[in-house]
């Protein structure tokens, strides 16, 4: 039996700290992206398309109403990449949606790269 893998990542942008926590299990991935401290924010879920089906993964917002576009986009990307259930949370205190999208996309990529290297 394989245990869940936990990956922590952080980065600074314009003097602000941004954190990522990635929980990878056998059938699902959860990534929490937040500004300042680890918190749950707007939560999106995505499921990969069934084999031989065309189109993007199916996604929905489960919780929250800020930064919904970036949360859904990242959840869909994660579902497609992992071929499993994906949950992505985005929590931003001071950023606009445009700023949050840019910063959290960078942090998301950095976190996935660290995970694929096995760190």
Residue ranges making up the domain that contains 69: 5-116
pLDDT digits (tens, 9 = 90+) for 50-101: 777 676 678 999 999 999 999 999 999 999 999 999 999 999 999 988 999 9
CATH number for the domain spanning 90: value is 3.30.230.90
CA angle 102, 10, 42 (to 5 degrees): 55
pLDDT digits (tens, 9 = 90+) for 8-53: 999 999 999 999 999 999 999 999 999 999 999 999 999 988 777 6
Domain count, the chain: 1
- Terminal Cα-to-Cα distance of the chain (whole angstroms): 20
Alpha carbon distances (Å) from 64 to 5, 43, 61, 103, 116 = 26, 7, 7, 19, 29
**Cβ contacts of residue 16 below 8 Å, gap of 6+?**
35, 36, 94
Q: Residue 118: what pLDDT? A: 65
């Amino acid at each position: 039996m394989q245990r869940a893998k936990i990956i922590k990542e952080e980065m600074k942008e314009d003097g602000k700290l941004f954190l990522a926590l990635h929980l990878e299990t056998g059938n699902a991935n959860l990534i929490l992206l937040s500004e300042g401290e680890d918190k749950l924010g707007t939560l999106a879920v995505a499921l990969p398309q069934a084999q031989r089906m065309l189109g993007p993964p199916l996604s929905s917002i489960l919780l929250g109403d800020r930064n919904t576009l970036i949360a859904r986009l990242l959840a869909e990307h994660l579902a497609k990449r992992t071929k499993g259930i994906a949950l992505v949370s985005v929590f931003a205190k001071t950023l606009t949606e445009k700023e949050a999208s840019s910063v959290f996309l960078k942090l998301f990529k950095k976190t996935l790269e660290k995970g694929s290297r096995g760190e």
